[in-house]
Amino acid sequence: MSKKSLSFKLNISIIVLLLLIVCSGIYTILMINKTQDYAHETGDNWLPSVLSTSKMSEGVGKYARRILGLLSNSLIHTGEEEKKLKEEDLKALNKYTDHINEAIEKYKKLVSGSEETELYNDVVKKWQIYDKAVRESLKINNEGKKAEAIKYVLKEARKDAAALEEAISKLATFNYNGGIKSTEKGANLTTITNITMLSIIGSSILIGLFIIQIIRNTTGSLNNAVENLKSQSVATSEIASTLKKGSEQLTDSASEQASSIHETSAAVNEITSMVNRTAENAKESTNVAAHASTKTETGQTTMQRLVSAMETIQQSNSELQNIATIISQINAKTAVINDIVSKTELLSLNASIESARAGEYGKGFAVVAEEVGNLAKVSGKSAQEIQELITSSQEQVNKILGLTKERVDEGKKVTAEAQQAFQEISTDISTMTSTIQQISDATREQEIGVRQISEAMGNIDRSTQRSQASVSSVSESAVDLVKQSKSLDTTAKDIEVLIKGES
């Protein structure tokens, strides 16, 4: 044992002492709990049982006195007074009966063990016998045999009451003896606990003396250790000072880096915002270009319809040319009619000449010839007017045809140019839409890239903040190390004073 280290000796001694203390504490707790169990057994089982048996005995005494009082009053009094007193005594008797039954029921919950169960059943049985005897005496009294009822109670019921009192007394004695035994067990445990605790205290004192001897034997070794501790304390203080200066410089660098990263992160956030706006504008431009492309397609469709309408107008012009041809034919037919009219007039003139030659015989024919000549003149005049109208209409139709043809040709030319322009616009808008879509895709990719850069900058910022926190922690640790070094130096001096004393 003398070759073992100080820590081993102290640890073994302290462990043994702690084991003694722990074992004594556990033993004391167990003994106290056991003593409390006996106390609880006495307080929760035996004492309530004694109290219940006391209430039973008291109830039986009152019950016996009340039945004697009832029968005595019935014997002494008569009439209404007897009836009134009898009702009051019966109420009181039933009340005592209920009290006894209640006490018996409460005690039933406290019964434990076969012996106590046997005693309890005996009390219940004898109470039922006694109560039955009392009810029998009341029955005899109600039949008018008052003196015989009192004799029955004094002779038969009193025996049953004595037997019941004896049974209750046995049950009370059983509970009293149980309480005494439980109390004696608790007292014995207390005595054993006191003896055990005294032994443990003695052992603790011996171990304490052994520890004191160990400390006295190792004081010389501690002197050298204190000197070494003082020199190490000085060296630790110098190292802590150097570490403190380095951590302060590192803290300043980390702060500057965190500030730069914060500014860079803010700039990246601003770029991200601008890229988002550009992406939104590109998206809006894409929508506008798509809308314009749709409108251009609609305009191109309208121009195609206009070309179709111009072609329809050209077909109508062809039909007008057919009408001009028909008018020319009508003009030719009118010329034929005019020729017929001229010939008719000539024939009418010849007829008039011939009728004049015929004299009286040709007068009727002359009238006819004159009428035919008049008709021919009217027809020739109408034919002339029709020919003039046809000629005028033909000129106007030809004029309209010429203007219509010129305008249709010009409209077709303008329509073709407009259609060509719309096609070129549609092509340009499609190209512009594709270009804007490419710009939008590129902007979206830029947005994703900038967002990733922003997230990376955020991660770097958080890492820098953690580094800054770590540097701050290191700086604080350096400060604490300086303080601990000073405290160590102070402690070494205190230990030196404690071991060697003040010089």
**CATH code for position 162:** 1.20.120.30
Residue 240, in any domain of the structure: yes
| Residue 71, burial from CB neighbour count under 10 angstroms (0-12, 13-18, 19+) | buried
CA-nearest of 106, 14, 115 to 52 is 106
What is the identity of the amino acid at 418? A
Flag whether pLDDT at 313 surpasses 70.
Answer: no
* pLDDT tens profile 443-476: 778 778 767 867 776 776 777 677 667 767 767 7
Calculate the alpha carbon distances from 94 to 98, 99, 135, 295 in Å.
Answer: 6, 9, 11, 111
171 vs 174: CA distance, rounded Å: 5
The dihedral region occupied by 79, where left means phi > 0, alpha psi between -120 and 50, and beta the remainder, is: left
Q: Do both 405 and 476 map to the same domain? A: yes
Q: Which residue, 182, 217, 252, sits at the end of a domain?
A: 217
CA-nearest of 232, 292, 266, 308 to 489 is 232
* pLDDT tens profile 289-304: 677 678 777 877 876 7
* pLDDT tens profile 127-176: 988 888 888 888 888 888 888 888 888 888 888 888 888 988 988 888 88
177 vs 45: CA distance, rounded Å: 12
Q: Do both 280 and 335 map to the same domain? A: yes
* pLDDT tens profile 89-120: 888 888 888 888 888 888 888 888 888 889 88
Q: Do both 187 and 289 map to the same domain? A: no
Give exposure, 471-484, as e/b (b: 16+ Cβ within 10 Å).
beebbeebeebbeb
* Apex 344 CA angle, 339 and 347, nearest 5: 130
401 vs 324: CA distance, rounded Å: 9
Flag whether pLDDT at 48 surpasses 70.
Answer: yes
Residue 159 has what pLDDT?
Answer: 86
361 vs 152: CA distance, rounded Å: 194
Residue 316 has what pLDDT?
Answer: 65
Look up residue 426 and give its two tokens. Answer: 């549609």
Calculate the alpha carbon distances from 344 to 21, 355, 376 in Å.
Answer: 169, 16, 6
Is the alpha carbon torsion for 165, 171, 174, 180 positive or negative? negative
Residue 40 has what pLDDT?
Answer: 65
Q: Do both 213 and 252 map to the same domain? A: no
Residue 494, in any domain of the structure: yes
CA-nearest of 365, 4, 491, 47 to 218 is 4
Residue recorded with tokens 């037919």? 333
Q: Do both 354 and 452 map to the same domain? A: yes
- Domain holding 82, by residue range, is 6-217
CA-nearest of 257, 387, 392 to 329 is 387
Residue 1, in any domain of the structure: no
**Domain of residue 344, CATH code:** 1.10.287.950
Q: Do both 144 and 272 map to the same domain? A: no
484 vs 492: CA distance, rounded Å: 12
The 10 Å Cβ neighbour count of residue 142 is 12
Q: Do both 314 and 421 map to the same domain? A: yes
Q: Do both 247 and 340 map to the same domain? A: yes
Residue 41, in any domain of the structure: yes
Q: Which long-range contacts (CB under 8 A, 24 or more apart) does 399-402 make?
A: 400/320, 401/317, 401/320, 401/321, 401/324
pTM above 0.85, yes or no: no
Residue 57, in any domain of the structure: yes
Residue 34, in any domain of the structure: yes
Total count of domains within the chain: 2
Residue 471 has what pLDDT?
Answer: 64
Q: Which residue, 217, 235, 251, sits at the end of a domain?
A: 217
Residue 39 has what pLDDT?
Answer: 65
Q: Which residue, 189, 217, 245, sits at the end of a domain?
A: 217
Q: What is the largest CA-CA distance in the chain?
A: 202
Residue 317, in any domain of the structure: yes
The 10 Å Cβ neighbour count of residue 150 is 19
List, as one string, the DSSP characters of 2-68: TTS-HHHHHHHHHHHHHHHHHHHHHHHHHHHHHHHHHHHHIIIIIHHHHHHHHHHHHHHHHHHHHHH
Q: Do both 331 and 197 map to the same domain? A: no
Residue recorded with tokens 């004191």? 212
Q: Do both 169 and 254 map to the same domain? A: no
Q: Do both 245 and 210 map to the same domain? A: no
Q: Residues 481, 313: contact at Cβ < 8 Å?
A: no
Q: Do both 341 and 489 map to the same domain? A: yes
Flag whether pLDDT at 13 surpasses 70.
Answer: yes
8 vs 117: CA distance, rounded Å: 62
Residue 380, in any domain of the structure: yes
